[in-house]
Structure 1
């Protein structure tokens, strides 16, 4: 299921990117070909000189290209943000958030739910006994090798190896 979600997200980003490149490479048809003669006349475009109409078409093509590139960038950023922590996908910047509810120390198999909606499971045997905190600030950082991520609690040096489950 995780692989399907990531595959769909990557596919969506690829389609948006492909659309932006297609828009940049293949300008839109002139506005006079996109509108019916009645629409063209009702908009007053039939009163434009050929030079004015050419300028309008050039402006529309630039606008479409610019907006498509913006949409592609936003879609790519969204995919990267939503999929951080899954495999090596997305940004390698630390994730900073707060845990939802009470933190009762580290324990292998424990689930940590973040305010941003992400869920992480501890996969190592790190411990942080005797610590009880409510909604503590956390940082989840990628390891140097492979797809390892480490969760730390603000104010403590112990880190737990975690894997993203949601």
Structure 2
């Protein structure tokens, strides 16, 4: 077992020294003027050898690290794009269910056309073009009218209440359009 380890260590040392020998030193990569301008001519032979070892190690590690950065950036870009698409879908889905309320102010208008009382699922078209749908089971049987005055006021937790003139009963409604 010890022999195998010794052989492996020898092979690794030979391979690493061959790689270092193939690497050009800093003195070979720079022109003599650049070498002097960088102050490298002041280094001793040992310091220059150590600098070359460090550069070789960093250049050997650089190719493995360089491709990883664009992949991470690409992944982050895809995540950001997916988030934005999800936000757009959520906005579209919310708009399909019910339009956003411009304000939480009470509204006074008239119900356009005939009014036949309250009933779950019934839609009420106001003179301003808004359409409201009744979502509770409040009833107002026998009530009849044409272009009846109505008030829609906000309640707690985003609920809206519809009440028509002449009656105390109110119905829970939500805006359709």
TM-score by length of 1: 0.47
TM-score by length of 2: 0.45
Question: Which protein, 1 or 2, shows the higher relative CO under an 8 Å CA cutoff with sep ≥ 6?
Answer: 1
User: Comparing both structures, which one devotes a greater share of its residues to helix?
Assistant: 2
State the structure with more CA Rg: 2
